[in-house]
Amino acid sequence: MLTNDKNIYYTLRIAAAMCFIGHGAFGIITKEIWCNYFGVFGIGHAMAYKLMPWLGSFDILCGLSLLLYPTWAIVGWLVIWGAITAFLRPMSGEPFAEFIERAGNFGAPLILLILYNRSGDNVSWFAKIDPVKEYNSDNLGMAVKCLKVIVFLLIIGHGWLNLIEKKGLIGQYSSLGFSNPALTAQIVGIFEALLAASILIKPIRPAVLALLIWKMGTELFYPHWELFEWIERGGSYGAILALWFALPRFSLNLKNKLITT
């Protein structure tokens, strides 16, 4: 297992943990908007506030277990739970962009499943992932393609939210001192749409690194609970950084294949 492979593994593992620890923190503090998501299942506000801390605590435990003792069961669950919680947003009446903008939430653990797949039927779902023995280099090409799609989705989703002038983003630009926050949102939306297209068509390392800096920087401007919001976006940062690590190795493998053929 080469250095870049280890970097991808630890990046995705830490990123997925960040996402679910940050998400769980909002359950602990009973984030009001979560009531809308419980409402999709017919659960009222009073019961939602009782359930939030329990679900939040479970999210945090899953994130911590991924840091301390990562198992296939936890990684698989995080893929499912990340997709469900993201999809509850459009199900509760929010724009569909809110779902695709959170592609990193379920995308980071998904890439772990692709690259470090179970090596035999006798491997328990509750066994600790061994990144050396279970690394599947044949799946690197598939992982890079998936990472490109994941990064494309999370960036185009955020750009879409800018173009439709999401209230929270408009508030950010106003707090930062922009005199015309609506125009700022349109400019940022177009810029992010172009960035997303470049990632999907032909990602290059400098552009991916710049995108990582952009994403990590822009997520610092939430007006409330900034630290939790930033941590929850760990899946987004991890997917971008994993793509940055994977690109050189993938290009080299592709070049070697061309030479041998």
- Quickly list DSSP for 167-219: HHHHHHHHHTT-S-HHHHHHHHHHHHHHHHHHHHH---HHHHHHHHHHHHHHG
pLDDT of 254 higher than 90:
no
Q: Where is average pLDDT lowest: 17-21, 138-142, 231-235, 254-258?
A: 254-258
Q: What is the DSSP letter of 129?
A: P
pLDDT, one tens digit per residue, over 63-120 is 999 999 998 899 999 999 999 999 999 999 999 999 999 999 999 999 998 888 755 5
Least confident of 4-13, 35-44, 161-170: 4-13
> pLDDT category, 124, cuts 50, 70, 90?
confident
| C-alpha dist (Å) from residue 249 to 19, 56, 88, 116, 134 | 26, 38, 36, 16, 18
90 close to 99: Cβ distance less than 8 angstroms: yes
pLDDT at residue 224, as a whole number: 61
Give the per-residue pLDDT at 260.
37
Interacting residues of 204 by C-beta distance below 8 A, sequence separation 6+: 247
Query: What's residue 225's pLDDT?
Result: 61
2-16, 107-121, 143-157, 226-240: lowest mean pLDDT where? 107-121
Residue 59 DSSP one-character state: H
| pLDDT recorded at residue 249 | 52
- What letter would DSSP give residue 122? T
In the predicted structure, residue 259 carries a pLDDT above the cut 80: no
* Over residues 37-43, mean pLDDT: 94
The phi, psi pair for 71, rounded to 5°, reads -120, 160
The burial class, CB within 10 Å (0-12 / 13-18 / 19+), for 39 is middle
Gyration radius of the chain over CA positions: 19
> Given a cut of 60, is residue 257 above it in pLDDT?
no
Alpha helices in the chain (DSSP H): 3-28, 34-39, 45-68, 72-91, 97-100, 103-115, 140-163, 167-175, 181-201, 205-218, 226-232, 234-260
How far apart, in Å, are the Cα atoms of 98 and each of 22, 47, 136? 17, 25, 32
pLDDT (average), residues 181-200 = 94
The pLDDT of residue 98: 94
> What pLDDT does residue 1 have?
53
Of 204, 226, 225, the C-alpha closest to 217 is 226
What is the mean predicted confidence (pLDDT) over 127-138?
A: 78
> Residue 252 — pLDDT band, cuts 50, 70, 90?
very low
What are the Cα distances from residue 71, in Å, to 76, 118, 235?
A: 9, 10, 18
